[in-house]
Structure 1
Amino acid sequence: MRIAIVTDAWTPQINGVVTSLGYTRRELEALGHEVRMVTPQGTRTVGLPTYPDIRVALRPRRLIREAFREFQPDAVHIVTEGPLGLAARSHCRRRGLAFTTSFHTRFPEYIQLRLPFVPLEWGYAFLRWFHRAGRRTMVTNETMRAELETHGIRNLVFWSRGVDTELFRPREKDFLTAERPIFLYVGRVAVEKNLEAFLRLNLPGTKYVVGDGPARRQLEEEYPDAVFTGFKQGEELARHLAAADVFVFPSRTDTLGLVMYEAMACGVPVAAYPVQGPRNVVAHGVTGCLDEDLATAATEALKLDPRACREAALARSWRSATEEFLDNLTPARPAPLAVGS
């Protein structure tokens, strides 16, 4: 099957969406499918306001038109609600092509954090309009489905996530030599990640922030005792994660938080708020601690057994997650009726 996956989020961006798509593409191709990633890569782009590191295609309609004409997909999946996603939606609607979508990011909340005067419901009205044109919208868990249904988004199905347990595995802790315990965060350094809630905590040892983003310079100045490493990928990222004592995930808005699975695969327990995302990843008191007092969650997580974290991660594979994705796809065009039917 020829599968077109349209996404505004792609390399060189580093985030959970890009990671998920990379593993999904690998597994689809291993299963014998032909995959075309339709992304801004290699085209003229412009940086997003307030976040110039994220770049979007300048001529998305032309890019979509040419990609679909060349590839002739059997199934179309639209990942993001950005310029490419909008162009793909429009193209499919005009040509009578069925497609699926997925929900990854709480854009209404992110916009409101930057522009408080924009009503939250405006963002969800846009999401309702965008996703109702698709045959199915994929979400990661039941909590997310129930929440989106309250906003009027329908036809929701599950698409879970896996973790690379060969790359992310327990390793020697001496890769990081700072004072212990080491509490570590990995991800974008941006307002929506609520990083100050972590950096303000009165904790023993050392705080690490692995990642980059528009808020990094300000936070480095305000919290000089924390170690900011910038972006890390692959083996270097895995070594940082495995060397931590607790992974701290302060976000209140993430729909999942793939990096929590990666930390658990390294045998590192998670500390987080008891909100959407962490509640669907962390087994409280087993693979991490969830508490409205994040300092309590972090200190209690130190007491947990790293082996339980690793065992939980081993139960999640990218192959099974990709099979769910495949089951959710719909043919771009209906099959012709057999003669005599």
Structure 2
Amino acid sequence: MGTVGSGAEGIAGERRQLINVAYRLLGSVTEAEDAVQDAYARWYGLPRSRQEEILSPGAWLTTVTGRICLDLLGSARARRERYVGAWLPEPLPDRTEGERAGGADPTGPADPADQIVLDESVAMAFLVVLESMTPAERVAFVLHDVFRYPFAEIADVLGRTPAACKQLAASARRRVSATRAPATVTAVSATGRGDVVRHVKEAWETKDIAALVGLLDPAAVMTADGGGMVGTALRPVEGGVRIARYMVAIADKAPGLELLERSVNGMPGLVARRAGVVMTVASFEVSDGRVNRIWVVRNPEKLRPWAREG
């Protein structure tokens, strides 16, 4: 799981990889950073003689981080049962996009969200599927299918045999396949998705219900996460017409809200600001030129990585 020298520089160099692993396992930037910090604390807590016995500190750190995440995933299920409304992963900004907009401060403190590689494995649709897996399935699948770690090493994380880890990954893979759009659905390019999201923004700004209905799949579903800290729909809103009406009702209640087209977890999305403060981050799944899923994050604790958004 990576080979680095045991020097301080080599150990520190593993942080980016560990943050990427932990975010995909936990769906939370904050928890990912905490897990990685805990792994480093355990490393530095080892006697020097023990550190010198470890041939690959990178592999050791990844194994420990994986175990910490596995424990957190187990306890997260109980916490999320008490969570007010739906729980969604923390959305990620594209910091280079913010820099182009003149909103990022390159001299500011390092943000762990900046270290996460924005690819398909952090798309909101993918992370939501990961949430449906058991903790062991998620760890086996992410480490093997996303990061290409061998099952022999994953077995050290899960405390199971390599064969059992292989079965866990296969079960997780079936969950992913079951949620994918059928082959008859036309794939939408990144540009096409961006165009659809732009049209949604324009229709939302003008409170054009008919235009919104035309952009939404009739069976579309919108899920919102407010965590009980801000007002939002506690249950998913189902159906294109109901979603369109809900969106316009929100616009009516929130004068002065500014909508921005922004990348969310590497995909076209929308950010709503008021007085320069990000209030809402929305990500979209688009098929056949229409939106079929909307994930709306309003919990302010999950919007901290967006504080520098310009």
Shorter-chain TM range is under 0.3
Question: Relative contact order (alpha carbons < 8 A, sep ≥ 6): 1 or 2 greater?
Answer: 2
User: If each structure's helix is expressed as a fraction of its own residues, which one has the higher value?
Assistant: 2
Q: TM-score, normalised by structure 2?
A: 0.28
